[in-house]
Chains A and B, each alone.
Chain A
Amino acid sequence: MIGLPRLLRGQDELLADALVGRRLLRHWSELCVAIAAGAAVYGSVLGWWHGPRLAAYDALKLPVVLLLTSALTVLFSWTAARLLGLPLRLGQVAVLTFLALAVGSVLLASLAPVAWLFTLCAPEPSPAARTAHNLLYLLHTALVGGCGLAGTVALWRAMVKLGAPRRTVRAVYILWVAAYALVGGEVAWILRPFVGSVYEPVVFLRDDALNGNVYEFIVTDILPHLASID
């Protein structure tokens, strides 16, 4: 079984199997467990600023973000790979993309103590702690983004071993990462809150979860606000 040590020490066995389409379901299942466990550990710290309830919600929601985004994008990833000349089976695409997510999740879990320290040191949630909220938000975004980036590095290294022309691999890699990032941003927006708001009570999902998407929010709220700052 690809336990944590083997996930960390190199995924030669997994990649060898993935290249020939062997034991895909088993590898994919093990990667799902790694993703769920790692993301749950970090999720529990992510929500801890607002107490154990949001921590428990996030321990459940963060793995869901990763797994749901994969489920939404895997068909596109497989289709795009085939169209661009990378003849992978759906199972192979799933294993490769889940490998990247598993690496990112394990990295996130290793950073949970660091995130916990900053959460512990943040002032209690209140409207007066808006700056602390924003800083915590930035910290979590940086950590999650950084670990996601590291995961894409693992994906690239794995894809290079497919033996396909570098141009093809690069094009497919960019499409996979872009699709995942675009969809992942929206899935995370729908499943908010994660850090929690200083103005609103702790809930599992916002009432307006499906009322507008994150990119609309950026264009209609964030950018005009930034533009109005002198």
Chain B
Amino acid sequence: MDTETPAPPPQPPHGFLGPFNELLTEPLALLERARAGTARLAPLLLGAALGAGLYGAAAGFFQGGEQILVAGFKAPLIVGMTLLLCLPSLYVFSSLAGARWSGRTFLAAVSGFAATLALLLLALLPIGWLFSVSSRYLGSAVWLHLILWTVALLLGWRFLGRALAAAGAHGGTVVWIFLFALVSLQVTTFLRPVLWRPPGAPLFRAGEKMFFLEHFGRVFDVPAVDAKPEKPAKPAAPAKPATKPGEGPGAAR
């Protein structure tokens, strides 16, 4: 008599990009391997930091120069800090909604979410870069990145929502993504400035305390001439010396 044997966990993906490709094609395979104890989360977390950093660097092209590095450094900090602050609530919300977690599966879900966010940010990077480079007003650049971040979160929720459902959660957890979005705005404010730094301003302004509503309200007051000074006009070309008679194009043939 045949006895049912549990299906073996999915084959582990190969290479550094394999886990990311798997997030796009078979997102829940990560959880199944986490249950079997064969999931490798470090590449996902590393890739998440790298992806967020690259997006940040592209956003830093708004001001350019040193701010490219600063924004590239701060973007993964923003995502990482937000995740850390919201982890306890994710665990409790999802558990109350019926999810059955082990330490491994919970971390796998979180790592997968972070990596999915990074994938989406990388996919949006060319758009973010284009508008960062071409925008003159800090306010419009901020709006753009807010919209792209919202898109990334909504699509990233597709992974996390499915992971939560696979863990047994039913309903009520979508409120967490709104909490995550809110916290990300405050963390961004805490770690400001990100896109633009006035000359001589410090790298961090955490000592100047404010809520994100006030901070994002202020950025819209930054005039274009301060955010992106106009390039100085090219000096006029020197006048050519006058030609002697008989020289030049109309000279005798």
- Indicate if the CB atoms of A8 and B95 lie closer than 8 Å: yes
- Indicate if the CB atoms of B95 and A111 lie closer than 8 Å: no
A112, A117, A135, A150: residue with the most chain B Cβ atoms closer than 10 Å: A117
- Identify B85's interface contact among A9, A117, A122, A132, CB under 8 A: A117
Q: A9-B95, A110-B93 are in contact. Are A120 and B190 (CB under 8 A)?
A: yes
Q: Which residue of B lies closest to A111 (CB)?
A: B89
B79 to chain A, nearest CB (A): 14
Asked if A74 CB lies within 8 Å of chain B CBs, one says no
A44 to chain B, nearest CB (A): 15
- Identify A103's interface contact among B96, B179, B212, CB under 8 A: B96
Mark out the residues of chain B between 176 and 205 whose CB falls within 8 Å of any chain A CB in the assembled complex: 179, 183, 186-187, 189-190
Chain B neighbourhood of A122, CB < 8 A: 209, 211
Lowest 9 A-B CB distances belong to which pairs? A8-B95, A110-B92, A110-B88, A110-B89, A113-B85, A123-B209, A111-B89, A121-B209, A121-B190
In the complex the two chains form, what is the Cα distance from A222 to B217 in whole Å? 28
Mark out the residues of chain A between 63 and 111 whose CB falls within 8 Å of any chain B CB in the assembled complex: 103, 106-107, 109-111
Asked if A154 CB lies within 8 Å of chain B CBs, one says yes
Chain B neighbourhood of A103, CB < 8 A: 96
Q: A114-B86, A114-B179 are in contact. Are A121 and B210 (CB under 8 A)?
A: yes
In the complex the two chains form, what is the Cα distance from A126 to B6 in whole Å? 63
Mark out the residues of chain B between 40 and 90 whose CB falls within 8 Å of any chain A CB in the assembled complex: 84-86, 88-89
> Residues of B at under 8 Å CB distance from A?
84-86, 88-89, 91-93, 95-96, 98, 100, 172, 175, 179, 183, 186-187, 189-190, 209-213
A25 to chain B, nearest CB (A): 25
Asked if A186 CB lies within 8 Å of chain B CBs, one says no
Q: Which residue of A lies closest to B86 (CB)?
A: A114
- Indicate if the CB atoms of B91 and A110 lie closer than 8 Å: yes
Q: A117-B85, A117-B183, A117-B190 are in contact. Are A123 and B96 (CB under 8 A)?
A: no
Contact with B along A120-131 (1 / 0, CB 8 A): 111110000000
Asked if A156 CB lies within 8 Å of chain B CBs, one says no
Size of the A side of the interface (Cβ < 8 Å), in residues, is 27
- Indicate if the CB atoms of A123 and B92 lie closer than 8 Å: no
- Indicate if the CB atoms of A114 and B209 lie closer than 8 Å: no
Interchain residue pairs with CB less than 8 A apart (10): A8-B91, A8-B92, A8-B95, A107-B96, A110-B92, A111-B179, A117-B183, A121-B211, A124-B209, A150-B172
Contact with B along A1-31 (1 / 0, CB 8 A): 0000100111000000000000000000000
B89, B91, B187: residue with the most chain A Cβ atoms closer than 10 Å: B89
In the complex the two chains form, what is the Cα distance from A116 to B183 in whole Å? 11
In the complex the two chains form, what is the Cα distance from A109 to B187 in whole Å? 20
A117 to chain B, nearest CB (A): 6
- Identify B189's interface contact among A9, A107, A112, A121, CB under 8 A: A121
Chain B neighbourhood of A118, CB < 8 A: 186, 211
Q: Which residue of A lies closest to B95 (CB)?
A: A8
- Identify A123's interface contact among B93, B98, B210, CB under 8 A: B210
- Indicate if the CB atoms of A117 and B187 lie closer than 8 Å: yes
- Indicate if the CB atoms of A154 and B96 lie closer than 8 Å: yes
- Indicate if the CB atoms of B211 and A114 lie closer than 8 Å: no
- Indicate if the CB atoms of A106 and B183 lie closer than 8 Å: no
- Indicate if the CB atoms of B183 and A114 lie closer than 8 Å: yes
In the complex the two chains form, what is the Cα distance from A107 to B94 in whole Å? 11
- Indicate if the CB atoms of B186 and A106 lie closer than 8 Å: no
- Indicate if the CB atoms of A114 and B189 lie closer than 8 Å: no
In the complex the two chains form, what is the Cα distance from A149 to B175 in whole Å? 13
In the complex the two chains form, what is the Cα distance from A139 to B210 in whole Å? 14
B190 to chain A, nearest CB (A): 6
Mark out the residues of chain A between 193 and 212 whose CB falls within 8 Å of any chain B CB in the assembled complex: none
Chain A neighbourhood of B100, CB < 8 A: 9
Q: Which residue of B lies closest to A103 (CB)?
A: B96
In the complex the two chains form, what is the Cα distance from A88 to B89 in whole Å? 33
In the complex the two chains form, what is the Cα distance from A107 to B95 in whole Å? 10
Chain B neighbourhood of A107, CB < 8 A: 89, 92-93, 96
Chain B neighbourhood of A116, CB < 8 A: 85
A130 to chain B, nearest CB (A): 13
